Amino acid sequence: MNFDVVIIGGGLAGLTCGIALQEQGKRCAIINNGQAAIDFSSGSMDLLSRLPSGQKVQNIYQSLDELTAQAPEHPYSILGKDQVLAKAQQFEQLARALNLHLEGSTAGNHERVTPLGGLRATWLSPNSVPTVKHLTALAEKQVAILGIEGYHDFQPQLLADNLKQHNQFADYEFTIGYLNIPELDYLRQNSREFRSVNIAQLLEHKLSFQDLVQEIKQAAGSAKAVFLPACFGLDNQDFFNSLQQATGLALFELPTLPPSLLGIRQHRQLCSCFEQLGGMMMNGDRAVRAEFEGDKVVRIFTTSHQEEPISANHFVLAAGSFFSNGLVAEFERVTEPVFDLDICGCKNFDSSDRFTWTNNRFAAPQPYQSAGVVINSACQVQKNGAVMPNLYAVGNVIGGFQGIEQGCGSGVAVVTALTVAEQIGGIK
């Protein structure tokens, strides 16, 4: 098998890169082994929420200069401020074209409401997710927070109590209620099955739509705005939008404990776009090793293609971090298992000294989380100190940043993915 580009990993980074390449007329294959981080994420995408110093980011444009000063090893610092902003804006356009219903822009972060009633700065949020802007625009300061009877991954009382602590919502009235849906009794028999994905499947296909509409209206009482756990609509936001229309209420949905419907929807929409553009998804397969000619990768072997390798002109590593097995921590060193690439991390991290991997304060950012492969400004990787001209890395497999602490996981994924697509396509 021969392709223009082979991408290893089908998460947010791999799919974004694949879509952009297919749009340029390249023949791409994505080899993908399993679930991705996006299936567990909140659905909101962070570009840069916090600097390494801990300072909150309001204006992303200004903060990128400060980031370069504080963390020259960060992928944004390596790519440069103009490139980061250009590719983030390109992703905003792609998200609109894919109908991902994302709101927000690089002009500045907004604050979304978290399921525990916190406020978190982020770049893009699904328009169904409550934000400070949505709440302050409500005509009446009354919100009904509705759980589902027996579903413990969403706690309305906790959410209401914590939201009341914020000054801007101190005079809001949050009422609590629960949807009683007898059709879900079947799932309740096994608590491990009582999850957002199973509930969504059942609600979409086995319950009368009108019954659900009535139940929400009744539980909402006099409130015109309602918060629900994200359990409505598995493939996209259409089912949730229909509920919104039929109830005549301002409905909002909050991410639940993983797996998260809001992330899963985005993942499904990205996969289907890649395939519609003619890309080949090789699901359930795993890249295991590569063969090189000089400094170039020429073919890779997978668990299903041990004898018949897959060759391409360009290879993109989008295998994620430890969470997705894109990186592996052995006793003596952190490694990248397919190509054995050079590894870096934040300032105090040394891949071959495990005493530098962790911070003894449990709640502090852990240095191992910044581990990943070394890249240059074209996202080409490095092996034994030498740049590999036809092997690129995108997303969480790259080193030098703390995705959770700095709130930049999705941003790094899409910015590097679109940078690599531009490099390979040669299109500015």
Ligand X SMILES: Cc1cc2nc3c(=O)[nH]c(=O)nc-3n(C[C@H](O)[C@H](O)[C@H](O)COP(=O)(O)OP(=O)(O)OC[C@H]3O[C@@H](n4cnc5c(N)ncnc54)[C@H](O)[C@@H]3O)c2cc1C
CB of 185 to ligand X, least distance (A): 29
Site string for ligand X, 371-390 (x = CB under 6 A): --------------------
Q: What are phi and psi of 225, to 5 degrees?
A: -120, 140
CB of 412 to ligand X, least distance (A): 7
Q: Does 34 bind ligand X (CB under 6 A)?
A: yes
CB of 39 to ligand X, least distance (A): 8
Q: Does 18 bind ligand X (CB under 6 A)?
A: no
Which residues contact residue 151 at a Cβ distance below 8 angstroms, ignoring those fewer than 6 apart?
184, 194, 199, 229, 231
Q: What are phi and psi of 146, to 5 degrees?
A: -110, 120
CB of 374 to ligand X, least distance (A): 16
- Report CA-CA distances (Å) from 264 to 2, 34, 155: 30, 13, 21
- Report CA-CA distances (Å) from 91 to 28, 102, 305: 19, 11, 33
- Report CA-CA distances (Å) from 147 to 135, 206, 208, 216: 19, 19, 19, 10
Distance CA 138, CA 223 (A): 11
For residues 203 and 374, which CB has a smaller minimum distance to ligand X in the complex?
374
Q: Does 78 bind ligand X (CB under 6 A)?
A: no
Q: Does 287 bind ligand X (CB under 6 A)?
A: yes
Q: Do 57 and 67 form a contact (C-beta atoms < 8 A)?
A: no
For residues 10 and 229, which CB has a smaller minimum distance to ligand X in the complex?
10
CB of 12 to ligand X, least distance (A): 4
CB of 222 to ligand X, least distance (A): 33
By CB under 6 A, which span of 9-17, 64-72, 166-174, 193-201 interacts with ligand X?
A: 9-17
Q: Does 230 bind ligand X (CB under 6 A)?
A: no
Helix/strand/coil (H/E/C) assignment for every residue in 105-173: ECCECEEEECCCCCEEEECEEECCCCEHHHHHCCCCCEEEEEEECCCCCCCHHHHHHHHHCCHHHCCCE
By CB under 6 A, which span of 178-186, 318-326, 328-336, 344-352 interacts with ligand X?
A: 318-326
For residues 337 and 425, which CB has a smaller minimum distance to ligand X in the complex?
337
Q: Which of 5, 31, 146, 375 binds ligand X (CB under 6 A)?
A: 31
Q: Do 136 and 215 form a contact (C-beta atoms < 8 A)?
A: no
Q: Does 114 bind ligand X (CB under 6 A)?
A: no
CB of 354 to ligand X, least distance (A): 22
For residues 233 and 403, which CB has a smaller minimum distance to ligand X in the complex?
403
Distance CA 387, CA 374 (A): 9
Place of tokens 């105090």: 348
Q: Do 381 and 392 form a contact (C-beta atoms < 8 A)?
A: yes
Q: Does 212 bind ligand X (CB under 6 A)?
A: no
Q: Does 14 bind ligand X (CB under 6 A)?
A: yes
Q: Do 256 and 229 form a contact (C-beta atoms < 8 A)?
A: yes
Closest alpha carbon to 89 in 379, 421, 392, 418: 418
CB of 344 to ligand X, least distance (A): 16
Q: Which of 179, 234, 251, 413 binds ligand X (CB under 6 A)?
A: 413
How many alpha carbons fall within 13 Å on the CB side of residue 191? 5
Q: Does 253 bind ligand X (CB under 6 A)?
A: no
Q: Does 261 bind ligand X (CB under 6 A)?
A: no
Q: Does 37 bind ligand X (CB under 6 A)?
A: yes
Q: Which of 90, 155, 162, 396 binds ligand X (CB under 6 A)?
A: 396
Q: Does 326 bind ligand X (CB under 6 A)?
A: yes
For residues 145 and 413, which CB has a smaller minimum distance to ligand X in the complex?
413
Distance CA 43, CA 380 (A): 29
Closest alpha carbon to 156 in 216, 226, 204, 221: 226
How many chain residues touch ligand X (CB under 6 A)? Answer: 38
Q: Does 17 bind ligand X (CB under 6 A)?
A: no
Q: Does 342 bind ligand X (CB under 6 A)?
A: no
For residues 34 and 150, which CB has a smaller minimum distance to ligand X in the complex?
34
Q: What are the beta bridge partners of residue 297?
A: 292
By CB under 6 A, which span of 91-99, 158-166, 317-325, 362-370 interacts with ligand X?
A: 317-325
Distance CA 104, CA 127 (A): 9
Closest alpha carbon to 155 in 215, 229, 224, 221: 229
Which positions touch ligand X (CB under 6 A)? 8-14, 31-38, 40-42, 44-46, 258, 286-287, 318-320, 323-326, 338, 395-396, 403, 409-410, 413
